[in-house]
Amino acid sequence: MSENYQGLGQYSMEKGAARKRRSKYIVIGIVVLLVILIAGGVTAGILISNNNKSSSGGKSSTDKSTDKNASKDPSVFKKDPSLHKSFYGMAYTPEGSLLPECGNSLENVIKDIQLLSQLTTRVRLYGADCNQTALVLEAIKQTKVEMEVFVGNYVVPTDNTPYIRQREAIKSAIEIYGTDHIAGVTVGNEFMLNYLTERKSNDAQSAIAREGAAILIANIEDTRNMLASLGLKKNIPVGNSDAGSFFNTEVLSAIDYGLSNVHAWFANTTAEGAADWVTTFFEETNVQPAALLPNNPKMYIAETGWPTKSSDLGNANNGAADASVAGLQIFMDTFVCQANKAGIPYFFFEFFDEEWKDHQFGGVEGWWGIFNAE
């Protein structure tokens, strides 16, 4: 999926509009429900106070206020018994976090975090535009769930403005929310992949690659300085994320952790063979080289998953297997248990299907979610 990673984690306007329409109906629904509840509550209150005049009359009003609080308090939500905290981590971007549209909302992020918290205790973000860092931290605060976040800064090679804008957003979020739920700051997502692909190269150790690496390393150092300027008590690791075979050695030497995308689908494996392929690729291509460096950066699998379908026939099969729900199930059954047992840190890709990617890229791009768009 490397060729299309650029927009990863961003969302379509169409989807945002659909959400807005949905939200409108939800609001109308809630108003109607409230009217019914208030009417019902008043009636019940009259009945109860008439019936229980002499007994413990306080009880009914306590029950009523508990119900009222439960509907408003994001830390009180219904858990789905079929979900388990089986995943080390999950790749996540709040819907509507792409400039210039944005359109994300705290309400929706809270819903996502409520759901995510039933699957994992870690999420990673790709960028910091559209206030997503603060929204996610606010949602964690309000839901009171156990969750840590690898926040992200999506770096563009030709223009440093986005980097600075996102650095300031991350800084401000840390000033407001502190560092309790921050596991790291990831500077750059597939920066080297994009840098080299645009320059018709695929060698992450070439002279061209070192030019790109210098841009990225300057931003990594700048982020360290920003964190140092805050005088934090906790040491926040600074990392980088890229496609599995695009880690430049100088970049690796400058980071505390590396997040590596490892996708068996694009290596034309079967669904049955995918878990072993991912584990072996990650160990040989990322873990072993990183372990040779003096700074010994910790390596994570940044993305791994399996597509459930393709929007065109040509991409529905990778030569060895189909894009299918059955394939995703096989990959989850094998990879998740294997990786958890072996202590491999990974972020599953991904939380839900992304319609905008399907519109923009077609093929399997929009169909990697363990949940559909709804």
Ligand X SMILES: *[C@@H]1O[C@H](CO)[C@@H](O)[C@H](O)[C@H]1NC(C)=O
In this chain, which of 43, 69, 75, 235 binds ligand X, going by CB under 6 A? 69
CA distance 368 to 328: 8
* Residue 81 touching ligand X (CB under 6 A): no
Give min distance, CB of 139 to ligand X, in A. Answer: 8
- Name the nearest CA neighbour of 93 among 187, 7, 188: 7
Residue nearest to ligand X (CB): 319
CA distance 6 to 243: 11
Give min distance, CB of 72 to ligand X, in A. Answer: 8
Give min distance, CB of 234 to ligand X, in A. Answer: 21
Give min distance, CB of 169 to ligand X, in A. Answer: 9
CB 173 within 8 A of CB 146: no
303 is catalytic: yes
* Residue 58 touching ligand X (CB under 6 A): no
| CA 342-9-373 angle, 5° bins | 90
CA distance 171 to 178: 10
Give min distance, CB of 319 to ligand X, in A. Answer: 3
* Residue 318 touching ligand X (CB under 6 A): yes
CA distance 150 to 345: 13
* Residue 260 touching ligand X (CB under 6 A): no
175 is catalytic: no
Q: Which residues lie below 8 Å from residue 82, measured CB to CB, with a gap of 6+?
A: none
Strand runs labelled E in 54-179: 89-91, 122-124, 148-153
Which pair of structure tokens corresponds to residue 229?
């300027």
In this chain, which of 43, 61, 66, 372 binds ligand X, going by CB under 6 A? 66
* Residue 319 touching ligand X (CB under 6 A): yes
* Residue 102 touching ligand X (CB under 6 A): no
Give min distance, CB of 276 to ligand X, in A. Answer: 17
The helix or strand, by DSSP H or E, that contains position 259, with its residue range, turns out to be strand 257-261
* Residue 268 touching ligand X (CB under 6 A): yes
CA distance 320 to 270: 5
In this chain, which of 18, 44, 48, 106 binds ligand X, going by CB under 6 A? 106
Q: Which of 48/316 has CB closer to ligand X?
A: 316
Q: Which of 106/115 has CB closer to ligand X?
A: 106
Q: Which of 134/236 has CB closer to ligand X?
A: 134
Query: Which position among 190, 350, 354, 355 bears the catalytic label?
Result: 190
Residues making up the chain, counted from first to last: 374
Query: Which position among 101, 221, 250, 303 bears the catalytic label?
Result: 303
Q: Which of residues 128-187 bind ligand X (CB under 6 A)?
A: 131, 134-135, 138
Q: Which of residues 184-243 bind ligand X (CB under 6 A)?
A: none
Residue 144 has what DSSP assignment?
A: T
Cα maximum dimension of the chain: 87
* Residue 100 touching ligand X (CB under 6 A): no
* Residue 364 touching ligand X (CB under 6 A): no
- Name the nearest CA neighbour of 124 among 258, 320, 15, 224: 258
Q: Which of 136/217 has CB closer to ligand X?
A: 136
Q: How many CA atoms lie within 13 A of 237 on its CB side?
A: 19
CA distance 86 to 277: 21
In this chain, which of 218, 226, 267, 373 binds ligand X, going by CB under 6 A? 267
Give min distance, CB of 334 to ligand X, in A. Answer: 21
Strand runs labelled E in 117-235: 122-124, 148-153, 182-189
| Catalytic machinery residues | 190, 303
Binding site for ligand X (CB under 6 A): 65-66, 69, 106, 131, 134-135, 138, 267-268, 318-319
